[in-house]
């Protein structure tokens, strides 16, 4: 983990004042704090065997115009000196701070807020590669507030400029982590459980985590039912395979459910004001599920590429 942020930029880019009630400031973040925060956040995820940080800024004497990426020679030397597989470089931290002051007449009080949007830029470098492997430029916000019976008291209670930059810089180091490492994402799923004895029994098996037995009953239903009941069985089969991480098979069954839903909702007919998409619940439900499974498949393919680094071990 290296700090490659130029340190010769002006802290404050501009200052806009709107009727003395809203002020917008732009800052360059504290790269040292952000780099340490990023290294610590990466280490806390326990994905890498070891995270090493290069404390000193690398980019302090460069021309700040244009790109300031590391050269292949620099990457190779740093990776060798640090005994690292690759480098994650913090290369920029921009902040936009919006200060607002409100008077609340019903309370006879003032309410002040500071909302800071933080824009870190991180690049990943592999040894012997000419260009960065990937550039990550996420953003997020951090917020402070204060209230009191006078505007001066509220302004005194709000965070100072130095503390704002320091705390926002520490926060900036945590933002890129979920874009650099595999992470969990919670998703909502539906399960059809009524309509027949097999569907009810299968729902019980599903609740117990016995997806193989549940799928067997749903497949029985799929073979003999028509219309919406057949669609529900196919949808549930897709869910059963997804819960077992058989995403390709789940996607096949979700597409079967989608095709049946198109017939049920008569999607081949011209959509008019009386038959708008909102009146196509089966089509909407199955379309969303197919899209979600496709997204998950793409994510798993990317994850498998990332995990190839462990193949030799």
Tens of pLDDT, residues 17-70: 555 578 999 999 999 999 999 999 999 998 898 999 986 666 555 544 445 789
Please report the pLDDT score of residue 305 as a whole number: 73
Could you give the CA distance from residue 132 to residue 188 in angstroms, rounded to a whole number?
A: 36
Of 3, 126, 124, the C-alpha closest to 76 is 126
Count Cα atoms within 13 angstroms, Cβ side, for 208.
11
End-to-end CA distance of the chain: 23
Residue 175 has pLDDT above 90, yes or no: yes
Q: What DSSP assignment string belongs to 6-39? A: -S-S-SEEEEEEETTTEEEEEEE--HHHHHHHHH
Q: What is the architecture of the domain spanning 197-310? A: Alpha Horseshoe (1.25)
- How large is the average pLDDT for residues 2-12? 71
Beta bridge partners of 125: 87
Could you give the CA distance from residue 290 to residue 284 in angstroms, rounded to a whole number?
A: 10
pLDDT confidence band for 14 (50 / 70 / 90): low
Of 256, 252, 5, 255, the C-alpha closest to 121 is 5
Could you give the CA distance from residue 141 to residue 257 in angstroms, rounded to a whole number?
A: 40
Scan for tokens 């909102």, then name that residue. Answer: 278
Tens of pLDDT, residues 101-134: 999 998 889 999 999 999 999 999 999 988 999 9
Could you give the CA distance from residue 291 to residue 251 in angstroms, rounded to a whole number?
A: 9
Of 192, 195, 206, 198, the C-alpha closest to 234 is 192
Could you give the CA distance from residue 287 to residue 293 in angstroms, rounded to a whole number?
A: 10
pLDDT confidence band for 11 (50 / 70 / 90): very low
Q: What DSSP assignment string belongs to 108-151? A: TEEEEEEEEEEEEEEEEE-TT-SS-SEEE---EEEEEEEEESSH
Query: Exposed, middle or buried, 236 (CB in 10 Å: 0-12/13-18/19+)?
Result: buried
This prediction's pTM: 0.64
Query: Exposed, middle or buried, 303 (CB in 10 Å: 0-12/13-18/19+)?
Result: exposed
Per-domain boundaries in the chain: 2-180, 197-310
Could you give the CA distance from residue 5 to residue 68 in angstroms, rounded to a whole number?
A: 8
Tens of pLDDT, residues 220-252: 999 999 999 999 999 999 999 999 999 999 999
Please tell me the least confidently modeled range out of 58-67, 88-97, 295-304.
58-67
Please report the pLDDT score of residue 66 as a whole number: 47
What mean pLDDT, rounded, does the chain reach? 87
Question: Which positions ≥6 away from 21 have C-beta within 8 Å?
Answer: 100, 101, 102
């Amino acid at each position: 983990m290296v700090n490659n942020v130029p340190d010769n930029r002006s802290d404050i880019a501009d200052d806009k004042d709107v009727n003395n009630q809203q002020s917008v400031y732009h800052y360059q973040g504290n790269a040292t704090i952000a780099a340490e925060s990023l290294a610590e956040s990466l280490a806390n995820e326990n994905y890498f065997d070891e995270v090493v940080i290069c404390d000193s800024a690398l980019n302090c004497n460069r021309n700040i115009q244009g790109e300031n990426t590391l050269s292949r020679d620099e990457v190779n030397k740093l990776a060798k000196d640090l005994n690292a597989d690759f480098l994650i470089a913090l290369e920029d931290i921009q902040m936009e701070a919006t200060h607002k002051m409100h008077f609340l007449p019903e309370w006879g009080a003032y309410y002040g807020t500071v909302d800071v949007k933080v824009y870190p830029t991180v690049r990943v470098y592999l040894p012997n590669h000419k260009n960065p492997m990937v550039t990550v430029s996420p953003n997020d916000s951090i917020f402070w507030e204060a209230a009191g019976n006078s505007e001066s008291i509220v302004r005194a209670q709000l965070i100072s400029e130095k503390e704002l930059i320091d705390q926002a810089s520490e926060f900036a180091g945590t933002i890129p982590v979920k874009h650099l490492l595999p992470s969990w994402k919670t998703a909502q799923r539906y399960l059809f459980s009524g309509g027949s004895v097999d569907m009810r029994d299968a729902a019980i098996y599903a609740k117990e985590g016995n997806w193989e037995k549940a799928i067997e009953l749903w497949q029985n239903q799929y073979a003999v039912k028509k219309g919406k009941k057949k669609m529900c069985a196919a949808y549930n089969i897709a869910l059963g395979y997804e819960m077992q991480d058989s995403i390709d098979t789940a996607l096949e069954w979700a597409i079967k459910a989608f095709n049946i839903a198109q017939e049920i909702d008569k999607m081949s007919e011209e959509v008019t004001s009386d038959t708008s998409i909102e009146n196509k619940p089966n089509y909407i439900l199955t379309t969303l599920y197919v899209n979600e499974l496709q997204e998950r498949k793409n994510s798993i393919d990317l994850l498998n590429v990332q995990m190839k680094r462990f193949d030799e071990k």
